[in-house]
Amino acid sequence: MNKNDFLSRFQHARLVTPEADFPLLKPGKPAAVLIPIIERERELTVLFTQRAKHLKHHPGQVSFPGGKQEDYDANLMQTALRETEEEIGIGADKISVIGTLPMFRTVSRFAVTPFVSFVTPEFHLKLDKNEVDNVFEVPLSHLMDQSQHLIHWVNRSGREHPIYFIRWQDKTIWGATAAFVRLLSNHIDLMALTD
């Protein structure tokens, strides 16, 4: 799939069923992540971060750049762009946001909006080592292939909930980050079924 194929599949008006998230008793804290898609010479890839191992919350976990909305952020898209620049040094001038996926509530009581974007391949990383240990890219085709999505069911408050896992080489993408990938995969796949 190239960039034009992706855009034609992504930009449709059909509603996609959200993935099961964590049922919060009150509204979650607003947060946003950026799903950075990069148009490489041979294929589209998606950039992930690996959180610093010394962090109190989710140390070493694979994630997308992002975080909680601050009072000075005009909106959630600004949150995603600001966090991306702070964490990995890619500025908004290198990013083209093409849309959002459904909000996803997490066990840590955040209501996260994923912003799907294209990032120009001519970027220079500058990792904030207080937050990010490293970054890596995964082919979009691997992530969109739902046969690569492993599901572990857990019981929470008497209800079964899926936790998704996606393996790539020596990395494991799981939890909310894998759910965001799954949301994108559902969105793209819905259009594929109508071709």
For 53-65, write each residue's pLDDT tens digit: 766 666 678 999 9
pTM of the model: 0.88
Residue 34 CB-density burial (10 A; 0-12 exposed, 13-18 middle, 19+ buried): buried
Task: Identify whether the C-beta of residue 76 lies closer than 8 Å to the C-beta of residue 32.
Answer: yes
- In whole angstroms, what is the distance from residue 44 CA to residue 64 CA? 16
- CATH homologous superfamily for the domain 3-193: Nucleoside Triphosphate Pyrophosphohydrolase (3.90.79.10)
pLDDT at 132: 93
User: Which residue did the predictor score with more confidence, 166 or 188?
Assistant: 166
Closest C-alpha among 143, 186, 188 to residue 9: 188
Q: Find the helix packing angle between 3-10 and 175-193, rounded to 10°.
A: 90
